[in-house]
Amino acid sequence: MAEPLNHPASAPIAEPIDERILAEAAAWLAQLQDGPLPPAEQARLAAWRQQSPQHQRAWQRAERLLGQLNALPAPLAGPALHASTQASRRESLARIAKGTALVLLIAPASWLLWQRQPWQHWRHWMDADYAALPGQNLDLQLDDGSQLSLHAGSQLDVRYSRRQRLLHLRQGELYVHTAADSAQPPRPFIVSTAHGRMQALGTRFAVRHLDGQLDGQLDGQLDGQPHAAPGGDGGSTLLAVYEGAVRIEPADAPSAAHRTLRAGQQARFTREAIAPATTAREADTAWRQGLLIADAMPLPDWAAALARHSGRAIRVLPAAQALRISGTFPLNDPDRALRMLAATLRLRIRQRGQGEGAMVEIG
């Protein structure tokens, strides 16, 4: 798990970074993955970063991604990126590139694929202020003391202002432990997704942005029918509250339809409606410790959880769709998790294809 990163809670809301600048930063990042930059290229990168505040912010995002790539799970973990001056940053980037080349000799296949991605792939992960790459969670500590855990494959924006503390979850899953605000009057703590807003009332909670229909383990009905959010999203948001309370405000629902969940409750919602509350399980946050804890979990849900964390494509064949699984599985070692599954349920695990388009089939 990554070391906590501090984010200045007093920072003003920044303007979006220009698309061209993000693309250029992604191209530099991809170039660094090929090996250390020669002195002339290091000078070009340093000059590029100094062109404007937007260039500096874009490169900060690139540095965070580079730091994650170098922080492989033990025993593959390498030194993190801790550089403050321009010269030390260049030296650190060179060390990261050299260390990456050594790690390639022993890293698992999923990490090999990440090292070979073109700049267009890195560009996707630079849209957000913070991104947790597949296979690795990211811990953040905000300047107000709030603690966050960002699940692998997730993207998050932090937008603090004088009026509110706002987090926007672009994709994936977020665990939040809020802190009391020292500002007077205290600013509300809000998490938003494509489907609406959630206001925390002194609490611990988790938010997951769900693509498509909800998995079978959780409540899959809204108003008695499968419900897709408008605007082509076809997804929903799942909120689970573990301490305190959180108020849900769907984006297109009247205020009368807003609802407050208490500790021990969870519910999903779309832009228009909130599903009935069910019981929240602390075990569902075990991903923070790199674990997947299943209790009679439908096999498709188990596969989806492993796929979310690892970034792999995993498919459960029709003959195994109705099976359920119980046990504790290592998310940070997906190959071992698949072997444990196969031994428990006497299933066959097959890999179709190679490289980025590979598909793991369970049946």
> C-alpha distances in angstroms, 186 versus 13, 102, 170, 204?
18, 49, 26, 18
Cα–Cα nearest to 167, from 147, 137, 153, 184:
147
| pLDDT reported for residue 229 | 34
Gap between the Cα atoms of 132 and 101, Å rounded = 21
Gap between the Cα atoms of 33 and 37, Å rounded = 10
CATH tag, 132-281: 2.60.120.1440
- End-to-end CA distance of the chain: give it in Å, rounded: 32
Domain boundary assignment for the chain: 8-127, 132-281, 290-362
Helix (H) or strand (E) holding 301: helix 299-310
| pLDDT reported for residue 100 | 32
- Of 20-34, 189-203, 271-285, the one with minimum mean pLDDT is 20-34
Which tens digit of pLDDT belongs to each residue from 288-315? Answer: 999 999 999 999 999 999 999 988 899 9
DSSP result, 261-273: EETTEEEEE-SS-
Joined tokens for residue 13: 């809301």
- pLDDT surpasses 70 at 319: yes
Gap between the Cα atoms of 296 and 325, Å rounded = 5
Gap between the Cα atoms of 125 and 121, Å rounded = 7
CB 177, CB 204: distance < 8 Å? yes
The mean pLDDT of the chain is 78
Four-point Cα dihedral 36, 59, 143, 210, nearest 10: -100
Percentage of residues of the chain with pLDDT beyond 70: 72
| pLDDT reported for residue 117 | 52
Residue with tokens 């693509």: 211
Gap between the Cα atoms of 114 and 335, Å rounded = 17
Helix (H) or strand (E) holding 54: helix 53-70
Best mean pLDDT range from 72-76, 106-110, 112-116, 147-151: 147-151
Which tens digit of pLDDT belongs to each residue from 135-152? Answer: 889 999 998 999 999 999
Q: How confident is the model at residue 70 (pLDDT cuts 50, 70, 90)?
A: low
Cα–Cα nearest to 227, from 273, 287, 163:
273
Which tens digit of pLDDT belongs to each residue from 216-245? Answer: 433 344 433 333 333 345 699 999 999 999
Q: How confident is the model at residue 354 (pLDDT cuts 50, 70, 90)?
A: confident
If one counts every other C-beta atom within 10 angstroms of the C-beta of residue 236, the result is 31
CATH architecture designation of domain 290-362: 3-Layer(bab) Sandwich (3.55)
CB 23, CB 62: distance < 8 Å? no
Residue with tokens 């020669």: 38
- pLDDT surpasses 60 at 322: yes
| pLDDT reported for residue 12 | 44
